[in-house]
Amino acid sequence: MRELGGDDLVRFPTDICKLELSRALANHETVACTFSEILSGANEWFGAEVPDNLNDRRKEIDEAIERALSHLNRHERRQRRSELNPRKKTNHAIIRSLIKDGLRKSPPSKSPMEQLIDPDLVLGWYLGTTSDAEFRRNSLKTARDPYLLFKYFVDEFGYREKLYSMVRDQGLKWSKIIETGMSQCAPLFAGAKQTGHSISPKELVSQITGDSFRRQVVGSMAETDLGQLTEDQITETKERSPSTAIFIQAVLGTLQVRLQSTQARAEAGNLVPTNVKQSDYGDFMHAIYAPYVDVFRCDAAFGEIIKNHPAAQGKIMPKRKHLLTLF
């Protein structure tokens, strides 16, 4: 996991779609991202800029010290403030001694979060011997280490599923749309069977996901209004963006498979669609990275949906034992 983390944390998947689409809409010759562009920048965590709020943190510490001194008289407060002023280098030894004594009398808890904090780094930053830039750099290094985060924070607090839910958020939205649609389509399939009519899941998908669907999805990914574009231009824009194209392929392919399953059950008299794991829809978002990797690991069912897409051909590995066949 260390090799996959460090300075190689990818951006959030929809950020990649947005960048590709912005280039496609601007008629750039090259739309696909470079490897460095899909990675977080120097001051980013999964593509999100880390807030520069160290001045606020200093203020919070100073306010906490002021509250601790509030019970003293004015003369004593002024004296103690002077002794605890971190801007005076002559006070550093006193402050370090006080903190060391305090930790000895009241040792820190064994909470996972505290195990991630380097007290010397924090103290050095507060005293000014460690610059803000160095403090942020070292803090980001810890935040980018998946081994430390999962060992000391995510699993200890039971946040693994919550973290996964954050990453899969967009996929979960699509899952609700699709599963709601399955419940509504089941009676239609059953009724068609009784009246001797046939409904083609492929044609149904085509009707559901017409021009307005592509306009809405591509516009949402690009975070811009596509009102001035024709449907052909929107389709061309989508096809030029490899991550957006494979994402839409994943959604439409999954929709068709779910319709086929729901139809078969409904025609057999069962109007309750097959239960699916909500986590499976996270693959929608994961697929966005497929154009930029050598091997894309997913389950066999999802692999069947996207394996023939140009951005994923030759990369799908539904089972670990198939790894060697990809080279």
pTM: 0.72
Q: Say how far apart CA 121 and CA 124 lie, in whole Å.
A: 5
Q: Of 18-27, 94-103, 111-120, where does the model show the most confidence?
A: 18-27
* Tens-place pLDDT, residues 239-248: 999 999 999 9
Q: Say how far apart CA 226 and CA 251 lie, in whole Å.
A: 21
Report the range of poorest mean pLDDT among 28-32, 89-93, 275-279, 312-316: 275-279
**SS3 at position 5:** coil
Two tokens at 195? 């009246």
What's the burial of 197, exposed, middle or buried (CB within 10 Å: 0-12/13-18/19+)? exposed
* Tens-place pLDDT, residues 188-215: 899 998 898 888 988 888 887 777 888 8
pLDDT of residue 113: 55
Closest C-alpha to 312, from 249, 256, 218: 249
* Tens-place pLDDT, residues 288-312: 999 988 888 888 888 889 988 998 8
Give the CA radius of gyration of the chain: 27
Q: What is the mean pLDDT of residues 253-274?
A: 90
Beta strand extents in the chain (DSSP E only) = 44-45, 48-49, 296-297, 316-317
